[in-house]
């Protein structure tokens, strides 16, 4: 809870601000850019309604920047929420409260000095425990790797800190971040805040569960086969898997460079409770870092397509076992887009089956060649079962087969790029089945194959294409969130997020219902 001593600052406490002014918080139009110092008049602005931990990142940044509340008060509120709810979820596995409070004090001092404020100045966030955080272990869910200490912050961490964000904790991930279910012998199982009997997703499951439950306004995650979009679906929040090269990535602690295709299929990104926060976090995260040779200085907003924008509602393959609730959610999302001025047509997308198989072949063979032996020595039977399921669905490739698979990747990308010329946005499922149990992939290799091939085909396939994909929640079915995926062309995250925002405007956000349930 906020300390009383904080309310003695010249800027005034949130309570005093409510009594003395009716001015609204200053807006946060652009992320990543530096802001002008707050004026003395704006220091008396009115804060948003509701508990501090329920505010969006944009609302929080505006309230801090205007002086309606101090960063110390905000961080203390989020720490209190974390300590109240995290023991039930196990989403945050490293508590950084002590250094977060020091950072909050420094943030308030900077504002008092009338310093320029970053877009997320004083705003609490979480970081996934598989990227470098200076001075901390980077175990990636594996106890045997607790001796790997990060000598510097990863680019995404550095960019968030530069924008003023305050890290209150590190979130859980499965062993080697290689499962779609967040559980490991090092930290244990992370539960879904909506229902402990369903998974929170993975590998950014701790991130998704934390931000949905109100621990931090933005959660960092990453995605090589659905690890941002799947947890967003499971936890009822929004995300964007950016285009390959949009957000810089690098772990100085790594013993060796990642192989090329793993790097090209992986992306760092944000999870948040609203599309607006996702957009802001993406802009902050995507600032240049010279340590990533694949980073691209592409604009965040491209030319607007001629209206009405055509959306392809992806026709689901005949061999997919699809739940009626998923079909209904896709139709509901399509209706929201139609009412927002988009033109939606159900149409078959380019060779989704072949795209998925290419992803599976590349990631399985690359991993088997370079990492498998080392991983199996230090991982659990659950990991072995999940890995066996993925590997068994892949074709074993020799050098010639590998060269053909990487060439096929280019063919698939070209086909999708040409398709997206006519349909700038594709509306697709995240999963086609109800959210499974928290350790479903460890049941057997056969169950893992079913999950990735049948249920999650439209998620993992997009990684090999390097295309951006947003996820936004649409509805609840039997108390469980259902989200949909919006796919756009390379470096057109803006089109995917615009479509997601149009759905969110009509569907609303789901987390208020979660908070009522948790109260």
pLDDT, one tens digit per residue, over 11-65 is 333 333 333 333 333 333 333 344 444 443 444 688 999 999 999 999 999 999 9
The pLDDT value given to residue 286: 98
Residue 267 and residue 240: Cα distance in Å, rounded?
10
192-216 tens-digit pLDDT: 999 999 999 999 999 999 999 999 9
What mean pLDDT comes out for the span 361-369? 96
Domain that holds residue 106: 52-348+412-437+447-518
Helices vs strands, H then E, count in the chain: 18, 11
In this structure, is residue 45 part of a structural domain?
A: no
Residue 356 and residue 351: Cα distance in Å, rounded?
9
Q: Which residues of 37-75 are buried (b: 16+ CB within 10 A; e: fewer)?
A: ebeeebbbbbbbeeebbbbbbbbbbbbbbbbbbbbbbbb
Beta pairing class for 310-314 and 425-429: parallel
Its sign, for the CA torsion 509, 515, 518, 519, is negative
The pLDDT value given to residue 260: 87
Beta bridge partners of 471: 239, 485
For the chain, the domain total comes to: 1
Catalytic-role residue among 128, 241, 391, 393: 128
Beta bridge partners of 127: 170
Catalytic-role residue among 21, 203, 274, 380: 203
Residue 380 among the catalytic residues: no
- Residue 481's closest CA among 430, 518, 438, 516? 430
Q: Where are the beta strands (DSSP E) in 258-368?
A: 267-272, 310-314, 343-347
In this structure, is residue 184 part of a structural domain?
A: yes
In this structure, is residue 35 part of a structural domain?
A: no
In this structure, is residue 196 part of a structural domain?
A: yes
126-180 tens-digit pLDDT: 999 999 999 999 999 999 999 999 999 999 999 999 999 999 999 999 999 999 9
Q: How many CA atoms lie within 13 A of 241 on its CB side?
A: 36
In this structure, is residue 42 part of a structural domain?
A: no
Secondary structure of 413-460 as H, E, C letters: HHHHHHHHHHCCEEEEECCCCCCCCCCHHHCCHHHHHHHHHHHCHHHH
Residue 327 and residue 429: Cα distance in Å, rounded?
9
In this structure, is residue 15 part of a structural domain?
A: no
Residue 304 among the catalytic residues: no
Do 241 and 468 form a contact (C-beta atoms < 8 A)? yes
Q: Where are the beta strands (DSSP E) in 152-201?
A: 166-171
70 contacts: CB under 8 Å, gap ≥ 6: 6, 9, 11, 13, 14, 64, 104, 108, 122
Catalytic-role residue among 56, 177, 227, 380: 227
Residue 105 among the catalytic residues: no
Provide the CATH number for the domain around residue 221: 3.90.1300.10
The pLDDT value given to residue 44: 60
What mean pLDDT comes out for the span 89-100? 98
Claim: this prediction has a pTM higher than 0.85: yes
* Residues above pLDDT 70, as percent of the chain: 92
What mean pLDDT comes out for the span 333-357? 98
Q: Where are the beta strands (DSSP E) in 67-190?
A: 92-95, 124-128, 166-171
First to last CA, the chain: 17
In this structure, is residue 9 part of a structural domain?
A: no
Collapsing DSSP to helix, strand or coil, 51 comes out as coil
In this predicted structure, the answer to whether residue 456 has a pLDDT above a threshold of 90 is yes
In this structure, is residue 41 part of a structural domain?
A: no
Do 123 and 31 form a contact (C-beta atoms < 8 A)? no
What mean pLDDT comes out for the span 180-194? 98
């Amino acid at each position: 809870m906020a300390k009383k001593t904080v309310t003695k600052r010249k800027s005034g406490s949130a309570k005093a601000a409510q009594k003395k002014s009716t001015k609204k918080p200053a807006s946060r139009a652009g992320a990543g850019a530096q802001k002008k110092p707050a004026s003395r008049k704006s220091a008396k602005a009115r804060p948003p309604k509701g508990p501090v931990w329920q505010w969006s990142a944009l609302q929080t940044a505006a309230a801090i920047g205007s002086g309606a509340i101090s960063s110390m008060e905000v961080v203390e509120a989020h720490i209190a929420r974390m300590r109240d709810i995290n023991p039930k979820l196990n989403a945050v596995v490293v508590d950084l409260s002590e250094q977060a409070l020091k950072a909050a004090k420094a943030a308030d001092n900077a504002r008092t000095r009338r310093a320029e404020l970053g877009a997320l100045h004083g705003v609490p966030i979480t970081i996934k425990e598989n990227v470098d955080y200076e001075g901390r272990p980077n175990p990636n869910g594996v106890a045997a790797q607790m001796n790997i200490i990060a000598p510097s912050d990863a680019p995404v961490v550095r960019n968030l800190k530069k924008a003023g964000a305050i890290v209150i904790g590190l979130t859980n991930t499965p062993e080697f971040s290689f499962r779609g279910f967040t559980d490991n012998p090092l930290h244990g199982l992370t539960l879904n805040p909506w229902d402990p009997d369903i998974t929170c997703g993975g590998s950014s499951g701790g991130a998704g569960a934390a931000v949905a439950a109100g621990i931090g306004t933005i959660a960092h995650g990453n995605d090589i086969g659905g690890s941002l979009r799947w947890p967003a679906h499971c936890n009822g929040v929004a995300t964007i898997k950016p285009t390959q090269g949009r957000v810089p990535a690098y772990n100085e602690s790594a013993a060796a460079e990642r192989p090329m295709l793993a790097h090209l299929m992986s992306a760092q990104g944000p999870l948040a409770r609203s599309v607006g926060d996702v957009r802001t976090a993406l802009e902050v995260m995507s600032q240049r870092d010279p340590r990533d040779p694949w980073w691209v200085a592409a604009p965040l907003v491209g030319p607007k397509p001629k209206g009405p924008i055509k959306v392809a509602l992806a026709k689901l393959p005949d061999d997919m076992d699809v739940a009626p609730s998923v079909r209904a959610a896709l139709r509901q999302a399509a209706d929201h887009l139609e009412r927002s001025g988009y033109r939606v047509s159900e149409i078959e997308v380019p060779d989704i089956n072949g795209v998925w198989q290419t992803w599976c072949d590349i990631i399985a063979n690359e991993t088997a060649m370079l990492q498998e032996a080392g991983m199996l020595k230090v991982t659990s039977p659950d990991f072995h079962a999940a890995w066996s399921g993925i590997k068994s669905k892949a074709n074993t490739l020799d050098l010639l087969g590998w060269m053909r698979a990487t060439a096929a990747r280019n063919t698939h990308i070209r086909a999708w790029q040409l398709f997206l010329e006519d349909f700038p946005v594709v509306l697709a499922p995240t999963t086609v089945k109800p959210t499974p149990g928290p350790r479903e992939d460890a049941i057997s290799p056969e169950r893992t194959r079913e999950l990735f091939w049948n249920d999650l085909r439209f998620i993992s396939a997009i990684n090999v294409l390097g295309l951006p994909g947003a996820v936004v929640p649409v509805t609840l079915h039997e108390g469980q969130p259902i989200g949909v995926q919006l796919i756009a062309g390379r470096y057109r995250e803006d089109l995917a997020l615009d479509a997601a925002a149009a759905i969110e405007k009509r569907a609303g956000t789901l987390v208020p219902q979660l908070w009522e349930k948790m109260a």
